[in-house]
Amino acid sequence: MNIKRWTGLGLSLYLFLGTGGFIFLLLPQRVTIQKLKEERKNAESIYSQIKSSPRIIEEFQKEISATSKIIKQAEWLSRSSNPTGILFLNLNQSALKKQVKILFLEEISKKKYEEGKKSLSWKLDVEGNYYQLLSFIDRIERSPNYLKIEEITISPGEEDNLCRMVLTLSGFGKIG
């Protein structure tokens, strides 16, 4: 009987210690393990963000570079103290390629520009056949340098197959 009693007590003690061990050791470990898993997940997330952050910086640098390029294209007339000269060189190149004759180029907003206005305006008088003039206008509009055609007037030219076109153009001197 002693053996049965000791066996029953041993089993009871074993169950008691096992239950106590589970309650006092394994359950707190489970909570600790869950917290550590959450911390690991947060650390991995932060690491992932840090790892991808150079791409964000590179993207910002690309955008800044593209914006700077656009501003330079818009401010192309301010590269010199003579924006009309730069404009004439640009337009003359297009005119020669499209076989259009420039009759005159007149600046009409010099005073406004000197008073702090940011845009410049010109009157441009050209001559060519209808298709050459259309091609010339298209070349101006497709130019990477900003130049806006404000007004167009077309009239017959001095020769039968030629047209005369007067354009009012505007462009930026300095932005900002």
Closest CA to 172 of 136, 140, 145: 145
Amino acid at 118: K
49 falls in which pLDDT band (50, 70, 90)? Answer: confident
Whether the pTM exceeds 0.75: the reply is no
The structure tokens 């406004």 sit at 112
State the amino acid at position 90 in one-letter form: N
Task: Between 6 and 127, name the one with better pLDDT.
Answer: 127
For the segment 102-125, what is each residue's pLDDT rounded down to a tens digit?
Answer: 999 998 876 555 555 567 889 999
The average pLDDT across 62-84 equals: 78
Give the model's confidence band at 21: pLDDT under 50 very low, under 70 low, under 90 confident, else very high. Answer: low
Residues 6+ apart with CB under 8 A from 133: 100, 126, 154, 163, 165
Gap between the terminal Cα atoms of the chain: 103
* Coil, helix or strand at residue 143: coil
* Residue-averaged pLDDT of the chain: 80
Beta bridge partners of 106: 123
Write down the pLDDT at residue 168.
92
Model confidence at 153, pLDDT cuts 50, 70, 90, reads: very high
Residue 135: pLDDT band (50, 70, 90) is: very high
User: Has domain 76-172 been given CATH number 3.40.50.300?
Assistant: no
pLDDT of residue 103: 92
The pLDDT assigned to 118 comes to 67
pLDDT recorded at residue 151: 92
- Read off the pLDDT band of 7 (50, 70, 90): confident
Rounded mean pLDDT of 12-28?
Answer: 71
* In the predicted structure, residue 126 carries a pLDDT above the cut 70: yes
Q: Do residues 109 and 143 make contact, with C-beta atoms less than 8 angstroms apart? A: no
- Could you tell me the residue ranges of all domains in the chain? 1-74, 76-172
Q: Which residue has the higher pLDDT, 85 or 10?
A: 85
